[in-house]
Structure formats: C-alpha cells, structure tokens
Amino acid sequence: MKVFIANFGRENYEWTVCQARSTVATMNDVSAQPYWEAGDREGYIQLRMKGKTAAGITPTKPVASRWFNLMTIISESSGDIWIHREKDQFWWTASRVDPPVFEAKTEPVGDRRNVIVCHKPCDPWSDRNRKGNRLEWNGLHPKAREFLFTEGTLQQLSVENAEYALALIDGTDLSPWHDRSVWKAKAEKARGKRSVATIFNAKQRAAARMAMTARDTVLGANGQQVLRTMKNKELRFPNQQDRERYLIDLIELQEGVCAITGITLQYDGEHDDGELLCSLDRIDSDGHYEPGNLQVVCRFVNRWKGDGRDEAFRRLLSVVRSTASI
C-alpha cells in the first residue's frame, strides 16, 4: 500500500468534483493526451517542453517527465491511500480497482486550457479517522503538517511518513513518533513562532538567498586567472527582484520537489535538514545563470553534482537507485 498527498488541478479546481464523485484525479493538456495513451514518453516530453507556463517558463525534461508519470500513477492506483488538505480540514480516501474514467474539460482557471481529466474511483472521502474522530489540520503535530502537505500535484510519502499517516487514519497511538527528539524539537520551535510576525514566507526567503548566492558566484567567476582559469559565469537577469520572482516560479513549476531526485524541498526558516534546503543549479554547468538553464535541487545534490554534466549525474544516480533496490 502506498500513501500519496495530492492536489487536483491548478488552484485545486477539481477537488469539489473529486469529493462529490469519490475519485482522485489529474489532467493532461488535450494535445498531450494521445502521447500518454500511446505510451510515448519521449513524444509527450518533447511536446510539453515546446510550451510555456503562465509565468513564461519552459518546462524542463524532468518536469515534463513527471507530468507524464502523474496520470499513470493515478490511473493505475488501487488500494492506495490518498490524502488531501482543504483549508483547515484533513481528508483521506483509498483508491479502488475500478477502471479510470477520462473526460474532456475546459479548465475554469488560469488560461482555461482544454484538458483530459482522469478520474480514478475511490472510497468516499472522509475527514474522520477510522474510530470516528474528526481530523483537523491545525490539530496535527507540526512535523506531520510538514510532510502531509504538498504544493504540487502529487507526492508519495516515504515508508516512515506513510506509516505515520496510516496510524493517524487508523486512530492508533502516535506517541512512537511524537516522543522522538526531532519531533519534540519541531513542536517546541512551532510554539516559539506563534507570536512572531512573518514578513516574508519561507519560499520567498529561499528564493532571495539563492538569487544572492548566484550574484556572489558570478562576481567571483568572470574568467579571471588565479591559479587556474575560472569559468566565465554571467547573471542574465535585470535585477534581484526579477531573479527572485523567476526562482519562486521555478520552484512552483517543479511542484516543490528537487529537479533531480524528486525529494521534497525544504525552505529557509522552516527546515529541519540543511541538506534538503533549496539550492540553485545550472543545468549546463558551462552555461550562465539565465532562464532555461536553471533548476532548483537539494543542497546535497548540488554539492555532489558539482561542475559535472547534468545528464551524466542523472545516469549515475539511476545506477545507484537500481543497485539499492536489488
């Protein structure tokens, strides 16, 4: 059994439909759907990379590949737990073996794309655990709120977090998690923040830090000769504000996950693992800091990749993953 956190469409427009029909859903642009139906991943990716988002960003190959996977995951889901946050409410359901239903629709938000929506039947959505107790979002442990929410379309929980989610839904004892030092520290930190006014949210702080880091890197890498010739790096954005806005849009395009590993990114001031903080990476390490050549990754990924080629690093990471699964 897998456990997924999910939203349903831009601005979550399909949620009320899913709730009423007892389904989970995702959607493809009508022009991309035939590629998915034919199992043509490469054709799908190339088509999606020709377009731009509402923010004017061209999707990268990993992002387009993730979009291809979304409909596959939802259409084939059976017996999996799905979790959704709606304002202060916590909802959950389990997918069923029934086949998915595909329907044409014009999105009611954004640029009102024509899409094909995949609705996968599930049990009726519930905001109560299996013992009948109401599940309130604000009543959850702050550590749990951290991983039981996604800004993206879909996120599969790790084994440990999935076990917690299942215990929460079953209404069983949660102290094995709550008694851990990390969880206690998170709760204490949350209590200390209640009276603190926040001017910038964590994502904005992360974008500002990455934008300034890029600036500082460029200032020290303009082709000068020291003991060796440094790579020439240029910052091709008009100003700091434009850089920050682009990076926030980029994080949202990546749906809050690392562009290389798919691990959920953490943001400044709300993180509990510095290695998972957002880090700005140039896809082509020989290229510049400019639109189309940037991706946001976890800090440790950026360090491991270094100045290596993006494609080569991804290949080696795949080798590690395949070896670990044996």
User: Per-residue pLDDT tens for 17-68?
Assistant: 999 999 999 999 999 999 999 999 999 999 998 877 766 778 888 888 888 9
Q: CATH no. for residue 286?
A: 3.30.40
CA distance 308 to 317: 13
* Whether residue 116 is found in the same domain as residue 56: yes
Angle between helices 61-76 and 41-48 (to 10 degrees): 130
CB 276 within 8 A of CB 298: yes
CA distance 55 to 146: 26
pTM of the complete model: 0.77
* Whether residue 111 is found in the same domain as residue 245: no
* Whether residue 14 is found in the same domain as residue 163: yes
Please say if the pLDDT value at position 77 is more than 90: yes
Backbone φ and ψ for 269, nearest 5 degrees, come out as: 90, -15
Of 181, 215, 237, which residue sits at a domain end? 181
CA distance 326 to 317: 15
Dihedral class, residue 268 (left if φ above 0, else alpha if ψ from -120 to 50, else beta): beta
Is residue 192 a part of any domain in this protein?
no
Give first-to-last CA distance, the chain, whole Å: 20
Q: Residue 172 — very low, low, confident or very high, per pLDDT cuts 50/70/90?
A: very high
> What pLDDT does 222 receive?
54
Residues 6 or more apart whose Cβ sits within 8 Å of residue 6: 24, 82, 83, 84, 150, 153, 154, 155
Total domain count, the chain? 2
Please say if the pLDDT value at position 130 is more than 50: yes
Chain mean pLDDT for the chain: 86
Please say if the pLDDT value at position 138 is more than 80: yes
Residue type, 310: D
* Whether residue 72 is found in the same domain as residue 14: yes
- Helix (H) or strand (E) holding 253, with range, is helix 240-253
Q: Average pLDDT, stretch 110-128?
A: 94
* Whether residue 124 is found in the same domain as residue 252: no
- CA triple 146-3-280, angle to 5 deg: 50
Is residue 190 a part of any domain in this protein?
no
Is residue 85 a part of any domain in this protein?
yes
CB 273 within 8 A of CB 322: no
* Whether residue 243 is found in the same domain as residue 177: no
Please say if the pLDDT value at position 241 is more than 90: no
* Whether residue 88 is found in the same domain as residue 209: no
CB 157 within 8 A of CB 5: yes
Q: How many helices (H) and strands (E) does the chain have?
A: 12, 9
- What is the extent of the structural domain holding 144? 3-181
* Whether residue 28 is found in the same domain as residue 162: yes
CA distance 326 to 132: 41
